Structure 1
Amino acid sequence: MREPAKAQLGAIADNRVIGPITQTDIVRFAGAGGDFNPLHHDPEFVAKSGFPGVIAMGQMQAGILSGWLSDIFGVENVRSFGVRFVAPVFLGDTLTVGGTITAIAETDGETRAEIDLTVSGTKGPVVTGSATAVVAKD
């Protein structure tokens, strides 16, 4: 088991940059998750839907965010994780994944950090969320 990460109120954990997002990225995630909605791979269908191009499934960005969270804080230290999808991700978008520690408190005998999470795309936030993770005492 990894030791909890050190955390400071207001600190921004190391951001991660992913992309640009390719059709291969989307197809690989569709295969892993079983999401074969034509919005993610069929340009003719997408053109009729009103979107300007193929979009990545929201769970792909949530998965990228959860991977970042567990890499920084350790999956065994994550106590809660939730997301909200706020905008689509298109082919060619580059994503920046990160979070800010908004509170640190003792809960159930553990020091826990509350973390505001964001995945931003080329034109702004695409996923927002929050998490709670056990952290090391200062």
Structure 2
Amino acid sequence: MTHDITTLEVGQVLATQTFPLTRDSLVRYAGASGDFNPIHYRDDVAESVGLPGVLAHGMLTMGVAVSPLLEWCGTEYELVSYQVRFTKPVVVDPETGASLEVQVSVGALIESEDGTPQVRCDLTVTSDAGEKVLGKAQAVIRAA
């Protein structure tokens, strides 16, 4: 798929995707990342520290959030920067899990210091509870 950077417009939606998360997802991520904090797999520990239940790892949420943009980019664009602010935890129910809805839109058309056109993409990430879980989630891409 070819995407011409000069045809993008501010506000244009580039990708929308929903990602299911289960307790199995958290276990797999813990194994891959080495983050075995029990708040990510034990309800009793999560609740004992005042959390509403087992939470998805922040870095898992961050990684899931950028994946629709990376898929859209393919080999034509490269990621220059990516930042988020964690605003709400993602509670993963033992039976129903959780889901994240990600929408990627063009936030700004910008130029790098060397004059290379770049695109700031804004990511809106909400939980199935309707809460925005990432704030100021932005990525900058440019032609590869």
| TM surpasses 0.5 | yes
Question: Corresponding residue for 2:90?
Answer: 89
SS where residue 10 of structure 2 aligns? coil
TM-score of the pair, normalised by structure 2: 0.82
Q: What does residue 131 of structure 1 align with?
A: 139
1:52 deviates by 2.0
Residues in 2 aligned to 1:88 and 1:61: alpha-carbon distance in whole angstroms: 9
Q: How does 1:98-113 map to 2 (within 5 A)?
A: 98-107=103-112, 108-113=114-119
Q: CA deviation at 1:4?
A: 5.4
Structure 1 gaps of 5+ residues are none
Query: Over residues 81-126 of structure 1, what are the superposed CA-to-partner deviations in whole Å (9 max), with x where a residue is unaligned?
Result: 1111111111122111122212113332422111111211023111
Task: Count residues in correspondence.
Answer: 134
Residue number in structure 1 paired with 2:24: 24
Asked if the contact 1:95/1:121 (under 8 Å) is kept, the reply is: yes
Please identify runs of 4+ aligned residues in structure 1 that moved more than 3 A: 2-6
RMSD of Structure 2 on Structure 1 (CA): 2.2
Q: How does 1:1-138 map to 2 (within 5 A)?
A: 6=5, 7-19=8-20, 21-74=21-74, 77-91=78-92, 92-107=97-112, 108-123=114-129, 124-128=131-135, 129-134=137-142
Identity of aligned residues (%): 31
1:57-101 CA-to-partner distances (Å, cap 9, x unmatched) read 110011112322211124752111111111111112211112221
- My pick for the range that moved more, 5-14 or 93-102, is 5-14
In structure 2, distance between residues paired with 1:132 and 1:3:
18
The alpha carbon displacement at 1:16 in A equals 0.7
Alignment partners' CA distance in 1, 2:4 and 2:67: 15
Q: Which runs of 5+ in 2 are unaligned?
A: none
TM-score normalised by the chain length of structure 1: 0.85
Q: CA 1:32 to 1:42, structure 2 compared with 1: closer, same or farther past 3 Å? A: same
How far apart, CA to CA, are the structure 1 residues paired with 2:91 and 2:52?
A: 9
CA contact (8 A) 2:15 2:105 kept: no
99-108 vs 7-16, greater mean Cα deviation: 99-108
